[in-house]
Structure 1
Amino acid sequence: MRPITLATLFIALMILAPFSMAEEGTGSPDFEAGVAAFGAGELTAARAHFERARNAGLNTPSLLYNLGVVYFRLGQYESAEAVFLELLDTPHAPLARYNLGLVMQESGRPEAARRWFEQASGPESPEKVRVLALRQLDEPEADRFGEISGSGYLWAAGGYDDNIAGTPDDASSNQAGVFADLLAAGDARIGDDGFGLHGVAYSRQYPGNTEFDNTYLSTGASLLKGVGAGELKSTLSVAGSWFGGEVLEREVRLAAVYWPDQCFFMSILSGVDCSASGSLSTIRGGSGFSAYDGEMLRVDVSAWKSAGSWLFRGRYLLEVNDRKDLTTGQEFFSVSPLRNLVSAEARYYVSGRLSLGARGDIRHSRYRDDHRLVSGNAVVSERRTDNRLRGVLLAEYRLTGPWLVLAEWSMLNNRSTIERYDYSRREVMVGVEMGF
């Protein structure tokens, strides 16, 4: 938790400012209903009203500000950031800069928060905003030293898989069955020096098909620092995975992710956030999976934008594998693919509680060396190239507080130059999740 002084400053600003800005008068019943709902503490209802007003064509600074405040109070920091960025070209820019500092604080990005507070404390800002920003900047280091803050995530789900995947995930088993998923993740930030710890635990169990059970555990440390006009997070982690009760892989990974304060294409499309990341892993397979020994390089670029009740995301992932590969008698199987993945997602917030979405991706995999396969009395060599298409429909409903109910249906189709790797797969899943 943050010191009580910061929480008090935030509440004072967030309660007073929305009403003063609402005095502009918009003539929109939804906007006025949103202001009333906010004053009554009904944040989800306020959000729904404000989003309907914006979808109807209202895009005034007062609406954007109120909408950003509601997003913040609901913990939807990406959406809040996108809305406050839109206010930087309006007379409310000083207050928007201060609020962007608060968003960065709560998102665990202290260097970016400090830069926004420094801008908000400039002479062009109103006295009230400058005082609040300077208080944030002047907070004694001793007050922050040793402060621990963090977040966590829990997810439990069950479903049905009509073609359980073996190992790797692009080889099918032609078996169907129900499954149970459990995921727990958490991170802790220590002080304001950017140091943090994290951990992830995931398990998928197939009752009746235990040979396909898989488990993943990861832990590590990270360092977050301001670099240029953005923030860089470096992470060193160790991980282990198990398949069918046996050790599959052990991994040591060095990763970095960079969040620029402003994406390079902001001049074309405003309100877009983005990140770029890369990782290098050394992997050792278990006693029965030594073919997976080797290295893996990943480069990942993502972008997202909030537009009214919509949230859009896009991603590109490059993966390069250099593994030991598998030789059995006369046959040879490459497990060293070069992969390119492109994905896109759109989500629509029907109300403050319900959201619907769709996600799709295409992954092209080309394996480094030719497979050698026995066919009759001959050995045939062929380069394996796969094209995998996946589509997902999803829905989330917020019950109360941090609890969500989710439902997801996915369809996957893999087509390969080697027929044995052609397969289709469908999954349906229902579960609950909680963030804290």
Structure 2
Amino acid sequence: MRRSRFATFFIGLMVFAGVSLAKEPVRDPRFEAGVEAFNEGKLAEARVHFERARAGGLNTPSLLYNLGVVYFHLGQYKSAEAVFVELLGTPHAPLARYNLGLVKRELGQDLESRQWFEQAAGPDSPDKVQALAHRQLDGAAVKSPFDNVRGNGYLSAAGGYDDNIAGTPDDASSNQAGGFADLLAAGNVHIGTGAVGLHGVAYTRQYPSNPAFDNSYLSTGVSWLSGVGPGELTSTLSLASSWFGGDALEREVRVDAVYRPDQCVFSSMLSGIECSASGSISTIKGGNGYSAYDGEMLRLGASAEKGLGNWVLNGQYRFEVNDREDLTTQQEFFSVSPLRNLVSAEARYYLSGRFSLGGRADVRYSRYKDDHRLVSGANVVAERRTDNRLRGVLLAEYSLTRQWLLLAEWSTLNNRSTIERYDYSRREVMVGIEAVF
């Protein structure tokens, strides 16, 4: 079903692209490089060339069509929608309406999709656009519910070396080093109109020489998408379990909400920004021996992303509140209920459509709810724990095909605490391969 939709989409574009090019010849090397990359199936590279051409002042219908096609095929439906909307005030509006119908259908907005197809099928459209639109309308009328099942998945396998394996929680030092192997699989399925979806995530990290530090995570849930004001709200209910060293660590029930506005508050100052606001609340039950982690967690966050020529820039803020049972022994007390603020920034540069280099940095400040009580010699010392964690990451990615990607990553982490035992540094190197399908 997905392949036939793409075929119809490209047929619709190619029928009229020749007319547009004949009236508006384009002799921009960046545009021509984008067309060449597109014809070779290098969609990410084509996107970079077309975006550079547009940033350089080229804004013809031919460029917008091709850029919209690339966004659509890369699954960037909101960006594709924005491009095709720009064509509604041009002589190419009939085809733009048809393409918007396809975009809306991929977003699971079947009512809006049908409305665009009905407009494209109107008497003001050329005969070929009318025929394509009627074909979509007729097909929608006879589809079974299972024809609307859409999904995608992600798979990643990697290996590397960690010079200070993290204990539990991840801000505690083990002072042990070793190699590791990572495996991550994730997927989601949208059924019917696409408003409701199912998702799952499975992750494991194994340390062959230090199995006591092996950790795994499994999550499954259901989400629903709804229009709220000038944007979309995705709400998710999920169940998750995690294991450490083969023992059950936590079970979590979480409710998430992510809001993506059609237009960010920064758009009046800087166009092309995609942003979101998020929040979640969790109820957590610790496993046998980990009852100190029983409790609740609240998270609030915001993010923004901007493409700028060959650069993609991303920024994020997250606020976290933990209210856990904490750990009490006969003489000592350890708080595991931090209040946290995290700020992160990432920059990625595309040397070509296949190869990119990037860097990421984050700062996390943690202040724990109650004073720790620690035995020091013959005394019990009370001290409030606060941590400042700095992390830096360098990464490189190379696309083998449209689906497969090679990756390499190096990271360094430094945690400084008011309680000396929580001071530690950590470095990690990793190489792997990932696939999107």
TM-score by length of 2: 0.88
Render the CA deviation track for 1:124-148: whole Å, top value 9, x for unaligned. Answer: 9972578867876786465252332
Gapped regions of structure 1 (runs ≥ 5): none
Say whether 1:63 aligns with 2:47: no
Shift of 1:150: 0.6
- Counterpart CA distance in 2 for 1:348 and 1:82 is 25
1:12 paired with 2:11, answer yes
**Range 143-152 or range 62-71, more displaced:** 62-71
Offset of residue 41 of structure 1: 5.3
Q: Cα RMSD over matched residues?
A: 3.0
- The worse-fitting range, judged by mean Cα deviation, of 373-382 and 142-151 is 142-151
**1:299 CA displacement:** 1.3
Kindly tell me: are residues 352 and 376 of structure 1, through their superposed partners in 2, closer, same or farther at Cα, counting changes over 3 Å? Answer: same
1:70: how far off?
2.5
CA–CA distance in structure 2, aligned partners of residues 313 and 92 of structure 1: 36
Contact 1:82/1:271 (<8 A) preserved: no
Q: Alpha-carbon deviation of 1:120?
A: 8.4
The Cα shift of 1:21 comes to 3.9
Stretch deviating more after TM superposition (174-183 or 260-269)? 260-269
Whole-Å Cα distance in 2 between the matches of residues 63 and 412 of structure 1?
Answer: 44
For structure 1, which segment, 180-189 or 262-271, has the greater mean C-alpha deviation from structure 2 after superposition?
262-271
Letter in 2 for 1:422: D
Structure 1 residue 167, shift from structure 2 partner: 0.4
Higher mean displacement: 291-300 or 23-32: 23-32
CA distance in 1, matches of 2:39, 2:124: 24
Per-residue deviation at 1:235? 1.4
- For residue 25 of structure 1, what is the aligned residue in structure 2? 25
Seq. identity, %: 64
Which residue number in structure 1 is paired with residue 410 of structure 2?
A: 409
What is the identity, as a one-letter code, of the residue corresponding to 1:63? Answer: L
Following superposition, the deviation at residue 353 of structure 1 comes to 1.2
Distance 1:247 1:157 in 2: 24
Contact 2:81/2:103 (8 A) holds in 1: no
CA contact (8 A) 1:87 1:93 kept: no
> Is the counterpart of residue 297 in structure 1 residue 298 in structure 2?
yes
| Cα distance in structure 1, aligned partners of 2:91 and 2:409 | 40
Q: Where in structure 2 are there 5+ consecutive unaligned residues? A: none
- Which moved further from structure 2: 115-124 or 343-352? 115-124
Partner-residue secondary structure (3-state), 1:252? strand
Write the letter of the residue equivalent to 2:221: G
Rounded Cα–Cα distance in structure 2 between residues aligned with 1:12 and 1:200: 36
Say which SS state the counterpart of residue 172 (structure 2) adopts: coil
In 2: Cα distance, 1:421 partner to 1:395 partner: 31
Structure 2: distance between partners of 1:344 and 1:116: 36
Matched AA of 1:409:
W
Q: Does residue 1:234 correspond to 2:227, yes or no? A: no
Answer yes or no: is the 8 Å Cα contact 1:80–1:103 preserved in 2. no
The structure-2 alpha-carbon separation of the partners of 1:42 and 1:381, relative to structure 1 and needing over 3 Å to count, comes to closer
What is the number of equivalent residue pairs in this alignment?
431
Return closer, same or farther for 1:355/1:130 CA change in 2, 3 Å cut-off.
farther
Q: CA deviation at 1:39?
A: 4.8
Compared CA separation, residues 237 and 33, structure 1 to 2 (3 A): closer
Contact 1:157 1:429 in 2 (8 A): yes
The match for 1:127 among 125, 128, 132 is 125
CA distance in 1, matches of 2:371, 2:47: 55
Residues 1:110 and 2:108 are matched in the alignment: yes
CA contact (8 A) 2:69 2:80 kept: no
Q: What's the counterpart of residue 145 of structure 2?
A: 145
Aligned to 2:379: 378
2:266 & 2:43 partners in 1: Cα distance? 32
Mapped to 2, the partners of 1:316 and 1:45 lie a distance apart of 30
For residues 375-395 of structure 1, give each alpha carbon's deviation from its aligned partner in whole angstroms, at most 9, with x where no partner exists. 122211111111111111111
Separation in structure 1 between the aligned mates of residue 65 and residue 349 of structure 2, nearest angstrom = 20
| Alignment partners' CA distance in 2, 1:61 and 1:98 | 15
Code of the residue aligned with 2:376 in structure 1: it is S
CA spacing shift, 1:37–1:223, aligned 2, 3 Å: closer
Alignment of 1:278-427 (within 5 A): 278-427=279-428
Q: How does 1:211-290 map onto structure 2 within 5 Å?
A: 211-290=212-291
SS at match of 1:211: helix
Alpha-carbon offset, residue 87 of structure 1: 3.9
Determine the C-alpha separation between the residues in 2 that align with 1:332 and 1:413: 25
Shift of 1:332: 0.7
Cα offsets for 1:59-86 (capped at 9, x unmatched)? 555434423323433x251794497289
For 1:333 and 1:351, locate their aligned partners in 2 and report how far apart those are by CA, in whole Å: 50
Q: Distance in 2 between matches of 1:350 and 1:126?
A: 44
Kindly state the Cα deviation for residue 58 of structure 1 after the two structures are TM-superposed.
4.5
Residue 210 of structure 1: how far off its partner (Å): 0.6
Distance (whole Å) between structure 2 residues aligned to residue 116 and residue 267 of structure 1:
28
Letter in 1 for 2:326: D
8 Å CA contact 2:88, 2:96 repeated in 1: no
Q: CA deviation at 1:194?
A: 1.4
